[in-house]
Amino acid sequence: MAINRRTFLKAAGLTTLAGVAGHAAMELLAPGALEASGPSKVGEYPEALTAKRWAMLIDTEKFTTAQVYQKCIDACHVLHNVPHIPGDQEIKWLWTDSFKHAFPDQQHALVPDRVKNQPFMVLCNHCDNPPCVRVCPTKATFKRDDGIVMMDMHRCIGCRYCMAGCPYGARSFNFWDPRPFIENIDPYYPTRMKGVVEKCTFCEDRLAKGQLPACVEASEGALIFGDLANEDSEVRRVLRERYSLRRKPSLGTNPHVFYLI
């Protein structure tokens, strides 16, 4: 049966909406509320950092100045040759958004002013149930056993179904050859080409070398990264002690980026 792009996107959207049933429209995770499980990931290199399920915590109380946000964004974008393209065709792996846009289903009159007014760091949520993966016709985007949602640029045909499928706007499309828009190309990280989609990778390349994600390293403690499946990990300890939010929990994507509030 022939299926055009409009029909496909409509079907993908309906599939996403179908996942809504049975999920709460609002979520505030109490300390210690979350458990995770999954198969072990064996690293390729002896020094590699490995986990059953990687997750990131964003401590919103520690993002107190514009510099903290910018340091994290610069660390990510410089390291990964993310081009600086002004306007609505920008490429972004890590950026800021308002509480209103980042958490549209968690608005109410009693949200504290600090939370309501401060910018929030946003990125790919490395969802457990990622609609972007479900709709990709070439399997160019896929989820690893340790939860990282990856892109294979060589398989990406630029259809942008994954962008339509992601409810977080976490993916960017290269409308142009990005290379002229990169100030200093880092020869150790591959540049992309016109016509492919890209996004945050949880720094899988750094993890493989035994390093934490670049944004985490630059954040001076405002970002915490670790194995959610390990109850002795720092991420689990902090989630036992602090309240946290996740973005758009009603969609059933099960994001693995947590906002400590």
Contacting positions for ligand SF4 (CB under 6 A): 75-76, 80, 93-94, 123-127, 130-132, 149, 166, 168, 170-171, 199-203, 213-215, 253
Question: Minimal distance in Å, beta carbon 109 to ligand SF4?
Answer: 29
Q: Who's near 46: CB < 8 A, 6+ residues apart?
A: none
Q: Who's near 195: CB < 8 A, 6+ residues apart?
A: 156, 158, 174
Q: Which is nearer to ligand SF4, 75 or 229 (CB)?
A: 75
Question: Minimal distance in Å, beta carbon 2 to ligand SF4?
Answer: 27
Q: Which is nearer to ligand SF4, 132 or 239 (CB)?
A: 132
Within 10 Å of residue 206's Cβ, how many Cβ atoms?
A: 18
Question: Minimal distance in Å, beta carbon 175 to ligand SF4?
Answer: 18
Question: Minimal distance in Å, beta carbon 152 to ligand SF4?
Answer: 14
Q: Report d(CA 216, CA 1) in Å as an integer.
A: 47
Q: Which is nearer to ligand SF4, 118 or 254 (CB)?
A: 254
Q: Which is nearer to ligand SF4, 102 or 214 (CB)?
A: 214
Question: Minimal distance in Å, beta carbon 110 to ligand SF4?
Answer: 28
Q: Which is nearer to ligand SF4, 31 or 104 (CB)?
A: 104
Question: Minimal distance in Å, beta carbon 156 to ligand SF4?
Answer: 13
Q: Which is nearer to ligand SF4, 85 or 166 (CB)?
A: 166
Cα 260 → chain centroid? 16
Angle value at C-alpha 211, between 90 and 237, nearest 5 degrees: 95
β-pair partners for 55:
226
